[in-house]
Amino acid sequence: MPIGVWKNYYARKRFIQTAISYIGTSYLWGGDDPSGFDCSGLVVESLKSVGLLKEYEDFTADSLYRRFKFFEIEKPKKGALVFYFKNDYAFHVGICLDKYFYISAIGGNRKSVSIEDSNKQNAFVKIRPIDSNIHKITYLDLFLIS
């Protein structure tokens, strides 16, 4: 197997392991570190762990989608990003674990500004089924080899 393939395989694996290591972390609106994440904060932190984003970079779900939209794939794949849309705006992002489930910081909203708020709302990093019945979904695979 070529070196680039191995490098991407291990980067994808580490990316997923990083996200999984945060299961149970509280959801905090605008959170982008292990003290609390929102959906894009978890993805950005995991992307930084494999060098796909710089330490100083920060994104919303929509700005992540717009930056990487040229990596779109048709079906969910382990390590791909899953974006949920209202109209043409990506309002939620997570990381596919397989074709059925994804991991994300979920359950909170703009009022989730403290650990107490998150606990009341049962909002934290967790694994959920991919649900394409309510909103449009798009998948991006940032580990594609060109």
* pLDDT, tens digit, 9 for 90 and up, residues 75-121: 999 999 999 999 999 999 999 999 999 999 998 777 788 888 888 88
For the domain spanning 3-140, the CATH number is 3.90.1720.10
Is-contact 135 84, C-beta < 8 A?
Answer: yes
Residues, the chain: 146
Helices 39-48/61-68 angle, 10° precision: 50
Is-contact 17 45, C-beta < 8 A?
Answer: no
Q: Where are the domains of the chain?
A: 3-140
pTM: 0.92
